[in-house]
Amino acid sequence: MNFRCREDYSASGRPKRVRFKTWPPDEMLKSSALGMRQLLQGTHHDLLPARVGLDNVVARSVRKAPLGQGPLLAWPLACGSSVAERTRALDFADGILRVEVADVGWRRELQVLAPRYVAALNRYVADKVTRVEFIVSTRK
């Protein structure tokens, strides 16, 4: 086991050295291939196939959507729930997905992430998305 020491303070206020186990062990970090293999044998590895399988099921379902509807359905998956709550996919035509945003600040921030969103959308849809266009909402 790997142990490290740190200073802690007893009830009297005097420093004392306390040993504690480190995780992951330093030997695992030295050999990245071995370390990654050993880390994946833990509990997180058990969830990985379920996540990949679920992602494949969702992608197949979205690809079966009517022509032009796939990108609208995939928008919340591509951008994540926190962005999806504050935006709305309006329409999809000629490879351009138009998304409504609350204000200019949101548009500016999301425009930086647009290439990442395009790549994520194209993993889910049959219709090729070439660009995401952010439109500032006119309703208050």
Place of tokens 């995939």: 74
Could you tell me which residue, 95 or 48, shows the higher pLDDT? Answer: 95
Taking the domains of the chain in order of start, what are their residue ranges?
22-64, 66-136
Residue 84 in 3-state DSSP? helix
Over the stretch 15-36, which tens digit does the pLDDT of each residue have? 665 555 555 555 544 545 555 5
How do 15-21 and 3-9 pair as beta strands? antiparallel
Poorest-pLDDT segment among 23-27, 101-105, 132-136 = 23-27
CATH of 66-136, one of 1.10.10.10, 3.90.220.20, 3.30.300.180, 3.10.20.30: 3.30.300.180
Over the stretch 45-71, which tens digit does the pLDDT of each residue have? 555 677 677 888 888 888 888 888 999
The predicted model scores a pTM of 0.63
- What pLDDT score does 5 carry? 53
